[in-house]
């Protein structure tokens, strides 16, 4: 089964399980995605905990007004007397040759908005734990799911498994350099750490998991230990998640740094359709390992 088929069938499987509880389909038209956002907000205000799904993260832009101007501000506008417990799931990023309209990563569009929470799991266990936390949260939460992660297999705890929103996770311990990443770039960073280990470099991999709120303590603790950092992300470089992470490091861990922080991002271009150009535009283990060697002054 292709990744794109999995994106569709995941929601179909959920609908089959919970159709009695109120699952419903909506038109594929991107214009209807704005209507979907409004309907979800209305349901949340009336006491439900709706979980909306955008077939591709690119389509979320059609619901931007509803998410940013209505859902995010609802609690503030009503002086804390109303809430909007809304979850919006969206596949994001490149990897399935979706070109310009099926490859965008919208994370940075929303992480700057007060009132929204944004999470981006990298493993099956974190996907379960963060989604459960998102559904139970009384604020609107955007759950971004890397498209290439739908094929990923891993252990998932049975029963009650909650991953708190706002808490990062150290996926690999290290002492020489910190690789800060999230979502699809976690596997990229882990592969880069394997490459660096062959050169006797010990890399620590920190998975942010939550993008807003962000776990500043985890970032600063790791950088204080390794004294060097590389930030890896799936989005564009300008005003991206990595820029916020670098700001945190230079503000509160500057004295710990032995080298300038490096960033590895998607190329600053619309995502190409051609698979070779797409691969060249994305972050890769080789690019991350090279950035780590630069902060270690090994090249």
What span, in angstroms and rounded, lies between the C-alpha atoms of 122 and 182? 6
DSSP letter for each residue of 115-139: T-EEE---SHHHHHHHHHHHHH-SS
List the one residue out of 263, 235, 239 whose CA is nearest residue 249.
263
Indicate the Cα dihedral angle 232, 238, 240, 243, nearest 10°. Answer: 70
**Residue numbers annotated as active site:** 102
3-state DSSP: the chain helix, strand, coil percent, rounded to 5?
45, 15, 40
> If DSSP codes are grouped into helix, strand and coil, which group holds residue 238?
coil
Identify the three-state secondary structure at position 261.
coil
Bridge partners (DSSP) of residue 51 are: 87
**Chain center to CA of 148:** 12
CA-to-CA dists, residue 217 to 175, 230, 244, angstroms? 17, 17, 14
């Amino acid at each position: 089964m292709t990744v794109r088929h999995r994106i569709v069938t995941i929601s179909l499987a959920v609908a089959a399980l919970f159709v009695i509880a109120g699952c419903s389909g909506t038109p594929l038209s991107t214009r209807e995605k704005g209507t979907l956002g409004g309907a979800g907000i209305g349901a949340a205000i009336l006491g439900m905990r709706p979980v909306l799904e955008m077939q591709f993260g690119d389509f979320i832009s059609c619901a931007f007004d509803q998410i940013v101007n209505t859902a995010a501000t609802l609690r503030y506008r009503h002086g804390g007397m109303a809430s909007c417990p809304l979850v919006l799931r969206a596949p994001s990023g490149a990897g399935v040759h979706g070109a310009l309209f099926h490859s965008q990563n919208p994370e940075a569009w929303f992480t700057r908005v007060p009132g929204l929470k944004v999470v981006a799991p990298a493993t099956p266990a974190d996907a379960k734990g963060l989604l459960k936390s998102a559904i139970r949260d009384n604020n609107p939460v955007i759950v971004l799911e890397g498209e290439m992660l739908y094929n990923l297999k891993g252990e998932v705890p049975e029963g009650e498994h909650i991953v708190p929103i706002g808490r990062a996770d150290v996926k690999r311990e290290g002492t020489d350099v910190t690789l800060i990443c999230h979502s699809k770039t976690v596997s990229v960073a882990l592969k880069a750490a394997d490459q660096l280990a062959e050169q006797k470099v010990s890399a620590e991999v920190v998975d942010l998991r939550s993008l807003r709120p962000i776990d500043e303590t985890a970032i600063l603790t790791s950088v204080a230990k390794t004294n060097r950092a590389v930030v890896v992300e799936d989005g564009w470089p300008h005003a991206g998640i990595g820029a916020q992470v670098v700001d945190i490091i230079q503000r509160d861990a500057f004295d710990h740094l032995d080298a300038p922080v490096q960033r590895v991002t998607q190329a600053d271009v619309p995502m190409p359709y051609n698979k070779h150009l797409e691969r060249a535009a994305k972050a890769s283990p080789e690019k991350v390992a090279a950035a780590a060697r630069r902060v270690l002054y090994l090249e």
